[in-house]
Structure 1
Amino acid sequence: MEFRKTALTCAFATLFAVSGVAGAQSGGGQEGGAPPPEQQGAMPGADVDLSEGTIDDFVDAFVEVQKVNEDFAQRLEDATDAEEAQALHQEAQEEMVQAVEDTGMNAEEYNEVAMALQNDPELLDQVVQMAEERQ
Protein backbone atom coordinates (compact mmCIF):
# COMPACT_ATOMS: atom_id res chain seq x y z
CA MET A 1 0.00 0.00 0.00
CA GLU A 2 2.75 2.48 0.91
CA PHE A 3 4.57 1.78 -2.36
CA ARG A 4 1.44 2.59 -4.35
CA LYS A 5 0.96 5.90 -2.56
CA THR A 6 4.62 6.75 -3.06
CA ALA A 7 4.39 6.06 -6.79
CA LEU A 8 1.23 8.14 -7.05
CA THR A 9 2.81 11.01 -5.12
CA CYS A 10 5.86 10.94 -7.39
CA ALA A 11 3.65 11.13 -10.46
CA PHE A 12 1.76 14.06 -8.95
CA ALA A 13 5.01 15.87 -8.27
CA THR A 14 6.11 15.24 -11.84
CA LEU A 15 3.06 16.93 -13.27
CA PHE A 16 3.14 19.76 -10.73
CA ALA A 17 6.30 20.91 -12.48
CA VAL A 18 4.46 20.66 -15.78
CA SER A 19 1.89 23.29 -14.86
CA GLY A 20 4.48 26.01 -15.41
CA VAL A 21 5.25 24.55 -18.83
CA ALA A 22 1.58 24.32 -19.71
CA GLY A 23 0.97 27.89 -18.63
CA ALA A 24 3.95 29.14 -20.59
CA GLN A 25 2.75 27.22 -23.65
CA SER A 26 -0.67 28.83 -23.44
CA GLY A 27 0.92 32.25 -23.20
CA GLY A 28 -0.73 33.32 -19.96
CA GLY A 29 0.93 31.20 -17.31
CA GLN A 30 3.43 32.23 -14.73
CA GLU A 31 6.86 30.67 -14.70
CA GLY A 32 7.42 27.89 -12.20
CA GLY A 33 3.76 26.98 -11.99
CA ALA A 34 2.87 29.74 -9.52
CA PRO A 35 -0.87 30.14 -9.15
CA PRO A 36 -2.51 33.20 -10.64
CA PRO A 37 -2.73 36.15 -8.21
CA GLU A 38 -6.43 35.56 -7.58
CA GLN A 39 -5.66 32.02 -6.36
CA GLN A 40 -2.63 32.82 -4.22
CA GLY A 41 -3.32 32.30 -0.55
CA ALA A 42 -6.18 29.88 -1.22
CA MET A 43 -6.19 26.64 0.71
CA PRO A 44 -4.78 23.78 -1.39
CA GLY A 45 -7.67 21.63 -2.53
CA ALA A 46 -10.31 24.25 -1.73
CA ASP A 47 -13.22 24.35 -4.17
CA VAL A 48 -11.89 21.42 -6.19
CA ASP A 49 -14.42 19.32 -8.08
CA LEU A 50 -13.99 15.78 -6.76
CA SER A 51 -17.09 14.40 -8.43
CA GLU A 52 -17.10 10.86 -9.77
CA GLY A 53 -16.61 12.15 -13.33
CA THR A 54 -13.64 14.31 -12.37
CA ILE A 55 -12.01 11.48 -10.44
CA ASP A 56 -12.57 9.15 -13.39
CA ASP A 57 -10.94 11.66 -15.76
CA PHE A 58 -8.10 12.14 -13.28
CA VAL A 59 -7.42 8.40 -13.08
CA ASP A 60 -7.37 8.14 -16.89
CA ALA A 61 -4.97 11.09 -17.04
CA PHE A 62 -2.81 9.67 -14.26
CA VAL A 63 -2.47 6.32 -16.03
CA GLU A 64 -1.41 8.08 -19.24
CA VAL A 65 1.06 10.31 -17.38
CA GLN A 66 2.58 7.20 -15.82
CA LYS A 67 3.06 5.68 -19.28
CA VAL A 68 4.91 8.79 -20.45
CA ASN A 69 6.95 8.84 -17.23
CA GLU A 70 7.97 5.20 -17.69
CA ASP A 71 8.79 5.78 -21.37
CA PHE A 72 11.16 8.62 -20.58
CA ALA A 73 12.71 7.22 -17.38
CA GLN A 74 15.25 5.02 -19.13
CA ARG A 75 15.97 7.60 -21.80
CA LEU A 76 16.75 10.15 -19.08
CA GLU A 77 19.06 7.71 -17.31
CA ASP A 78 20.91 7.11 -20.58
CA ALA A 79 21.36 10.82 -21.31
CA THR A 80 25.02 11.61 -21.91
CA ASP A 81 25.01 15.22 -20.75
CA ALA A 82 22.91 17.81 -18.95
CA GLU A 83 21.73 19.43 -22.18
CA GLU A 84 20.36 16.15 -23.51
CA ALA A 85 18.73 15.38 -20.17
CA GLN A 86 17.09 18.84 -20.10
CA ALA A 87 15.75 18.37 -23.63
CA LEU A 88 14.34 14.95 -22.74
CA HIS A 89 12.80 16.32 -19.54
CA GLN A 90 11.12 19.12 -21.49
CA GLU A 91 9.81 16.65 -24.08
CA ALA A 92 8.47 14.37 -21.33
CA GLN A 93 6.69 17.26 -19.65
CA GLU A 94 5.09 18.32 -22.92
CA GLU A 95 3.91 14.76 -23.56
CA MET A 96 2.50 14.55 -20.02
CA VAL A 97 0.55 17.76 -20.53
CA GLN A 98 -0.77 16.42 -23.84
CA ALA A 99 -1.72 13.11 -22.20
CA VAL A 100 -3.69 14.99 -19.54
CA GLU A 101 -5.36 17.24 -22.11
CA ASP A 102 -6.30 14.21 -24.22
CA THR A 103 -8.43 13.00 -21.30
CA GLY A 104 -10.37 16.27 -21.19
CA MET A 105 -8.56 17.84 -18.23
CA ASN A 106 -5.89 20.49 -18.25
CA ALA A 107 -2.70 20.48 -16.18
CA GLU A 108 -4.12 22.97 -13.67
CA GLU A 109 -7.23 20.86 -13.03
CA TYR A 110 -5.11 17.71 -12.79
CA ASN A 111 -2.80 19.35 -10.26
CA GLU A 112 -5.72 20.68 -8.20
CA VAL A 113 -7.26 17.22 -7.96
CA ALA A 114 -3.87 15.71 -7.10
CA MET A 115 -3.37 18.18 -4.25
CA ALA A 116 -6.90 17.60 -2.97
CA LEU A 117 -6.32 13.84 -3.01
CA GLN A 118 -3.25 14.22 -0.85
CA ASN A 119 -5.55 15.74 1.78
CA ASP A 120 -8.08 12.88 1.54
CA PRO A 121 -6.34 9.54 2.27
CA GLU A 122 -9.52 7.51 1.79
CA LEU A 123 -10.21 8.93 -1.66
CA LEU A 124 -6.51 8.64 -2.51
CA ASP A 125 -6.68 4.92 -1.75
CA GLN A 126 -9.67 4.59 -4.09
CA VAL A 127 -7.84 6.48 -6.85
CA VAL A 128 -4.75 4.30 -6.45
CA GLN A 129 -6.87 1.18 -6.75
CA MET A 130 -8.67 2.52 -9.82
CA ALA A 131 -5.34 3.42 -11.45
CA GLU A 132 -3.90 -0.04 -10.80
CA GLU A 133 -6.96 -1.63 -12.40
CA ARG A 134 -6.53 0.50 -15.54
CA GLN A 135 -2.82 -0.06 -16.06
Structure 2
Amino acid sequence: MMQFLRFGVVGTAGFVVDTAVLYAGLALGLGLYSGRAVSYLAAASTTWALNRAWTFRAAPRAPMARQWALFLLVNLIGFACNYGTYALLVAGVPLVAAHPVLGVAAGALAGMVGNFWLSRRFVFNASRAAA
Protein backbone atom coordinates (compact mmCIF):
# COMPACT_ATOMS: atom_id res chain seq x y z
CA MET A 1 0.00 0.00 0.00
CA MET A 2 2.86 2.40 0.79
CA GLN A 3 4.33 1.75 -2.65
CA PHE A 4 1.02 2.69 -4.26
CA LEU A 5 0.84 5.88 -2.19
CA ARG A 6 4.41 6.81 -3.17
CA PHE A 7 3.51 5.99 -6.77
CA GLY A 8 0.60 8.42 -6.45
CA VAL A 9 2.86 11.18 -5.10
CA VAL A 10 5.29 10.58 -7.96
CA GLY A 11 2.32 10.62 -10.34
CA THR A 12 1.37 14.02 -8.98
CA ALA A 13 4.86 15.30 -9.79
CA GLY A 14 4.49 13.74 -13.24
CA PHE A 15 1.18 15.54 -13.65
CA VAL A 16 2.87 18.87 -12.91
CA VAL A 17 5.64 18.14 -15.45
CA ASP A 18 3.08 16.91 -17.99
CA THR A 19 0.98 20.05 -17.64
CA ALA A 20 3.94 22.46 -17.64
CA VAL A 21 5.48 20.90 -20.75
CA LEU A 22 2.11 20.81 -22.52
CA TYR A 23 1.47 24.49 -21.88
CA ALA A 24 5.04 25.35 -22.90
CA GLY A 25 4.54 23.37 -26.09
CA LEU A 26 1.26 25.15 -26.77
CA ALA A 27 2.99 28.49 -26.28
CA LEU A 28 5.67 27.42 -28.77
CA GLY A 29 3.05 26.51 -31.36
CA LEU A 30 2.56 22.79 -30.85
CA GLY A 31 -1.03 21.64 -31.07
CA LEU A 32 -3.11 20.01 -28.36
CA TYR A 33 -2.19 16.51 -29.57
CA SER A 34 1.48 16.81 -30.52
CA GLY A 35 2.11 18.97 -27.46
CA ARG A 36 0.60 16.27 -25.31
CA ALA A 37 2.75 13.55 -26.86
CA VAL A 38 5.87 15.57 -25.97
CA SER A 39 4.59 16.37 -22.49
CA TYR A 40 3.74 12.73 -21.81
CA LEU A 41 7.27 11.63 -22.71
CA ALA A 42 8.71 14.27 -20.36
CA ALA A 43 6.35 13.22 -17.57
CA ALA A 44 7.01 9.50 -18.10
CA SER A 45 10.76 10.09 -17.93
CA THR A 46 10.33 12.11 -14.74
CA THR A 47 8.12 9.50 -13.08
CA TRP A 48 10.48 6.69 -14.07
CA ALA A 49 13.40 8.50 -12.39
CA LEU A 50 11.40 9.32 -9.24
CA ASN A 51 9.93 5.84 -9.01
CA ARG A 52 13.39 4.32 -9.40
CA ALA A 53 14.80 6.57 -6.67
CA TRP A 54 11.88 6.49 -4.23
CA THR A 55 8.83 4.30 -4.88
CA PHE A 56 10.75 1.17 -5.82
CA ARG A 57 14.07 2.08 -4.18
CA ALA A 58 14.46 -1.41 -2.70
CA ALA A 59 14.28 -3.06 -6.12
CA PRO A 60 17.56 -4.19 -7.66
CA ARG A 61 19.06 -1.67 -10.06
CA ALA A 62 18.90 -2.59 -13.71
CA PRO A 63 20.97 -0.53 -16.16
CA MET A 64 19.33 2.89 -16.37
CA ALA A 65 18.82 3.15 -20.15
CA ARG A 66 17.42 -0.39 -20.33
CA GLN A 67 15.08 0.18 -17.39
CA TRP A 68 13.87 3.53 -18.75
CA ALA A 69 13.11 1.95 -22.14
CA LEU A 70 11.35 -0.97 -20.45
CA PHE A 71 9.33 1.46 -18.33
CA LEU A 72 8.17 3.31 -21.45
CA LEU A 73 7.43 0.04 -23.25
CA VAL A 74 5.35 -1.66 -20.56
CA ASN A 75 3.53 1.55 -19.75
CA LEU A 76 2.24 1.86 -23.32
CA ILE A 77 -1.03 0.37 -22.06
CA GLY A 78 -1.28 3.10 -19.44
CA PHE A 79 -0.27 5.62 -22.11
CA ALA A 80 -3.11 4.42 -24.34
CA CYS A 81 -5.59 4.90 -21.48
CA ASN A 82 -4.02 8.24 -20.53
CA TYR A 83 -3.73 9.74 -24.00
CA GLY A 84 -7.00 8.19 -25.20
CA THR A 85 -8.92 9.77 -22.33
CA TYR A 86 -7.22 13.11 -22.96
CA ALA A 87 -7.87 13.02 -26.73
CA LEU A 88 -11.52 12.05 -26.31
CA LEU A 89 -12.11 14.84 -23.82
CA VAL A 90 -10.26 17.48 -25.84
CA ALA A 91 -12.20 16.50 -28.96
CA GLY A 92 -15.59 16.18 -27.31
CA VAL A 93 -15.73 18.60 -24.40
CA PRO A 94 -15.20 22.28 -25.24
CA LEU A 95 -14.29 23.09 -21.62
CA VAL A 96 -11.42 20.58 -21.77
CA ALA A 97 -10.25 21.90 -25.16
CA ALA A 98 -10.12 25.37 -23.61
CA HIS A 99 -8.42 24.09 -20.43
CA PRO A 100 -6.33 21.03 -21.42
CA VAL A 101 -5.12 20.56 -17.85
CA LEU A 102 -8.50 18.93 -17.17
CA GLY A 103 -7.80 16.33 -19.85
CA VAL A 104 -4.28 15.78 -18.56
CA ALA A 105 -5.67 15.10 -15.06
CA ALA A 106 -8.36 12.73 -16.33
CA GLY A 107 -5.81 10.88 -18.46
CA ALA A 108 -3.37 10.55 -15.58
CA LEU A 109 -6.03 9.00 -13.39
CA ALA A 110 -7.14 6.66 -16.18
CA GLY A 111 -3.63 5.25 -16.58
CA MET A 112 -2.45 5.23 -12.96
CA VAL A 113 -3.52 1.80 -11.67
CA GLY A 114 -2.37 -0.01 -14.79
CA ASN A 115 0.94 1.81 -14.79
CA PHE A 116 1.53 0.92 -11.13
CA TRP A 117 0.87 -2.77 -11.69
CA LEU A 118 2.95 -2.91 -14.87
CA SER A 119 5.84 -1.00 -13.30
CA ARG A 120 5.86 -3.14 -10.21
CA ARG A 121 5.54 -6.40 -12.11
CA PHE A 122 7.84 -5.84 -15.08
CA VAL A 123 10.13 -2.84 -14.52
CA PHE A 124 11.02 -2.78 -10.82
CA ASN A 125 10.77 -6.52 -10.18
CA ALA A 126 13.62 -8.26 -8.39
CA SER A 127 13.34 -11.45 -10.46
CA ARG A 128 13.48 -9.50 -13.74
CA ALA A 129 16.33 -7.13 -12.79
CA ALA A 130 18.99 -9.72 -13.53
CA ALA A 131 17.43 -10.77 -16.86
Q: Answer yes or no: same fold by TM over 0.5.
A: no
- Relative contact order (C-alpha < 8 Å, sep 6+): which is higher? 1
Q: Which has the higher helix share?
A: 2
**Which TM class, normalised by the smaller chain length?**
0.3 to 0.5
TM-score normalised over the length of structure 2: 0.36
TM-score normalised according to structure 1 size:
0.35
